[in-house]
Structure 1
Amino acid sequence: MSETLGYIHSVETFGLVDGPGVRYIIFLQGCAMRCQYCHNPETWAFTKDTASTPQEAFTAAYRYRNYWRGNGGLTISGGEPLLQLDFVSEVFRLARAKKVQTALDTSAQPFAPDNAEWMARFDRLLENTDLVILDLKEIDDEKHKKLTGHSNKNILAMAQYVAARGVDLWVRHVLVPGLTDDADGLRQLDAFIKTLPTVRRVEILPYHTLGLFKWQNLGIPYPLDGVRVPTAEEVETAEQLLHVRDYPDAPKGSTAK
């Protein structure tokens, strides 16, 4: 049987926001979502011109282990890493063998709770995953469909499943004025998050337009043209509604030695 290959868009060797501590971040290619505020639309297409074996990917990351002292480690993001589930699972298995803290940064759209074979593969991934960083983009399903092109029902189901398995969660929500910032929706999101016993951190990510040039370069019409960034006061209000400060604990996991 041939080895599983991963298709990598890019890497970041000294990431500081996608997980605890200093991170080596692998961004994978491919995503089925079409979020209106996406700042990496170039990762949508599942191109296969940057193939890597799991061992090659982990070896490249492990060279930076001296910077991971404390709680740093390896994060795999995207795109959508669950579209390359088996590759991520094997990279994390190699990382766990070296006591490297692992974080999966996902929007959960591929989660398939009714597919026993997929779930068995997902379970193998969770066995070597210390932290799941989950983007919860919108709690209302119809609004979520308009925002991303997909339902959120399986995404919320994945949040519940990961928490039930005892895996630490960070929850992120992008705050877009007039789109994902309504108080009732944030209260509903807060109520849902409170049902997840392993949530260690909740983060508000203010909408920005730094990726606008990528849409322009790709010739894709930008659906949020003219939408402003949120004010500091709006971000603070959202943080209060989501009780961000109720989740001060950093995730516990393996540490590279």
Structure 2
Amino acid sequence: MLRVHSFESLGTYDGPGIRLVAFLQGCNFKCLYCANADTIELKGGTETSADEIVSMAKNQKPFFGKKGGLTFSGGEPLIQAKQLLPVVKALKEEGFHVCIDTNGSILNDDVKAVLEYTDIVLLDIKHINKEQHQLLTGKKNDNTLAFVEYLRSISKPVWLRYVLVPGYSDNHEHLHQLGEYFKAFDNIEKLEIQPYHELGAHKYEHLGWQYQLKDVKANTPEQLETAFNIFKAYFKEVVIN
């Protein structure tokens, strides 16, 4: 049984086409800008079976079209890789397109098995610099970089996702370093720039946590355009979500 925080129907930002998005409970990162802070704690969520999720997918299949399907996000969905495996296997047996949205910090036999039934990995790359990555997430990025190497070794399609946080992850030198690091990965299909926002800040107050980026302003159009122009020199496709 999967512990699911919530579902989103008709999602258009988490993989190709129109999608049913399952936000799973629990995350091993604590990103300063997390929009889903109420999914971080490992406890909680609603226990949901593979049959229930397949049934939901079948009900919504008419909306998926040729490109849509299901995306498992979080939280960090691969924390529950053992429980997720029978779900993605059942979905693939029914012909559904499956995406996993992950921070890439977990790689074990269960995760590798899940990836066999995954069409596209949406990889949230938080920062290329180890120290800045730890500042943003509480963890260094060694495991994530090893995860990306594994995805390349199995030729798994990847969409990189990068949150552009002013003063934290928008340094031009670091953006070029990220591009240089990944430019030779032929399995990376695109990079999505995700503008910083405070939409999840109220959840911190509800949880009794301090939101540490309250003085950080949203990206200006110029900041987004600069990042776009830097990244487009390295990746096949760059979009701003």
TM range (shorter): over 0.9
1:195 CA displacement: 2.7
Match of 2:72, SS state, is strand
Look up the match of 2:178. Answer: 189
1:108-152: CA deviations, max 9, x gaps?
1223xxxxxx2x222211111100000001001111111110010
The 10-residue stretch of structure 1 (224-233 or 58-67) with the greater mean CA deviation from structure 2: 58-67
How do 1:80-95 and structure 2 match up within 5 A? 80-95=76-91
Q: Which of 28, 36, 44 is the aligned partner of 1:40? A: 36
Residues of 1 paired with 2:98 and 2:131: CA distance? 33
Given residue 30 of structure 1, which amino acid in structure 2 is its aligned partner? G
Secondary structure of the corresponding residue to residue 63 of structure 1? helix
The partner residue of 2:124 within 135, 142, 156 is: 135
Task: Give 1:48 deviation, angstroms.
Answer: 3.8
1:85-118 deviation per Cα after TM superposition (whole angstroms, max 9, x unaligned): 022222111111111111000111223xxxxxx2
- Whether the aligned pair in 2 keeps the contact of 1:105 and 1:133 (CA below 8 Å) is yes
RMSD of aligned Cα (Å): 1.5
Shift of 1:49: 4.8
Of residues 7, 10, 18, the one that matches 1:22 is 18
Query: Which of the residues 205, 222, 225 maps onto 1:236?
Result: 225
Query: Aligned in 2, Cα 1:214/1:187: closer, same or farther, shift over 3 Å?
Result: same
CA contact (8 A) 2:25 2:42 kept: yes
Output one character per residue of 1:12-42: Cα deviation in whole Å (capped at 9) or x when no partner.
Answer: 1110010000000000000111101111110
Equivalent residue for 2:205?
216
Residue 92 of structure 2 corresponds to residue 103 of structure 1: no
Q: Secondary structure at the match of 2:194?
A: strand
Q: Percentage identity across aligned positions?
A: 36
Corresponding letter in the other structure for 1:84: Q
Q: Which amino acid aligns with 2:98?
A: T
1:125 has 2:100 as partner: no
Question: In 2, Cα distance between the equivalents of 1:131 and 1:204?
Answer: 17
Q: Which runs of 5+ in 1 are unaligned?
A: 112-117, 250-257
| Alpha-carbon separation, structure 2, partners of 1:51 and 1:122 | 20
By relative contact order (CA 8 Å, sep 6+), the higher-ranking structure is: 1
Mapped to 1, the partners of 2:23 and 2:142 lie a distance apart of: 25
Q: What is the deviation of 1:246?
A: 4.2
1:244: how far off? 7.4
Quick check: 1:44–1:79 contact (8 Å CA) kept in 2?
Answer: yes
5+ residue gaps, structure 2, are none
Paired residue total? 238
1:164 equivalent to 2:153? Answer: yes
Q: Does 1:149 align with 2:145?
A: no
Q: Counterparts of 2:181 and 2:85 in 1: how far apart (Å)?
A: 28
Deviation track 1:142-179 (CA, whole Å, cap 9, x = no partner) reads 11111110010010110111122011000010001111
Q: Which residue of the partner structure matches residue 252 of structure 1?
A: none
- Structure 1 residues 157 and 49: alpha-carbon distance in aligned structure 2, compared to 1, 3 A threshold: closer
Does the 8 A contact of 1:76 with 1:88 survive in 2? no
Q: How far is the alpha carbon of 1:202 from its aligned partner?
A: 0.4
Residue type at the aligned position of 2:149: Q
CA shift for structure 1 position 199? 0.7
